Amino acid sequence: MRSTRQLSPIVLALEPDNYLRSRALAQAPAATVPVTVSPEAAEHIPADNGSVDAVVASLVLCSVVDQAAVLAEIRRVLRPGGTLAYYEHVRSERRVLAMAEDLLTPAWQRVAGGCHPNRDMLSAITAAGFTVGDNQRFGFAVHPLVPPVAHILGRATSPGPA
């Protein structure tokens, strides 16, 4: 017999930056589901192997020090068939723009909290063993005077812990 009992989702939000974590802590009580805000970094997600249904990465894989290690950690905690939902700015497919991003990255990292404008996130997600499902790639400009930057928005499925 199938149970009709609904399980409430539990959200664990990781934010190592003190200021941004204080903003998240202030907003968490207003959420419609219980949200626990933790100072842990994504390299050490406080969750058991294969215990998580979905991970959301929004403009974070650009900023982590070791992107491959973080993707491996996300895969460790996701159950087989679990979802990695992502929204990230990524390396341009235009060679000249990608070279400009490579030149900009060392300085940009220092002033923008470790952000790398030149990362090919989709390849990294695939290399970590995920199967990319629907993926949209589009240009987005934060200001009319700033050129659009390539972004990806989509979902990938985890095979479960390696």
Residues that bind ligand SAM (CB under 6 A): 14-17, 20, 41-43, 58-60, 63-64, 113-115
Phi and psi for 43 in degrees, rounded to 5? -70, -20
Identify the sign of the CA torsion 72, 74, 76, 81. negative
- Whichever of 80 and 114 has its CB closer to ligand SAM, that residue is 114
- Whichever of 115 and 124 has its CB closer to ligand SAM, that residue is 115
CA-CA distance, 162 to 158, in Å (whole number)? 10
Task: Indicate the pairing of strand 11-14 with strand 35-38.
Answer: parallel
Taking the complex as a whole, how short is the minimal distance between the CB of residue 60 and ligand SAM, in angstroms? 4
**54, 20 in Cβ contact below 8 A?**
no
- Whichever of 43 and 120 has its CB closer to ligand SAM, that residue is 43
- Whichever of 73 and 130 has its CB closer to ligand SAM, that residue is 73
- Whichever of 41 and 98 has its CB closer to ligand SAM, that residue is 41
CA-CA distance, 19 to 39, in Å (whole number)? 11
Taking the complex as a whole, how short is the minimal distance between the CB of residue 45 and ligand SAM, in angstroms? 9
Q: How many helices (H) and strands (E) does the chain have?
A: 4, 6
Taking the complex as a whole, how short is the minimal distance between the CB of residue 55 and ligand SAM, in angstroms? 11
Taking the complex as a whole, how short is the minimal distance between the CB of residue 125 and ligand SAM, in angstroms? 16
Taking the complex as a whole, how short is the minimal distance between the CB of residue 127 and ligand SAM, in angstroms? 19
Beta pairing partners, 152: 88, 137
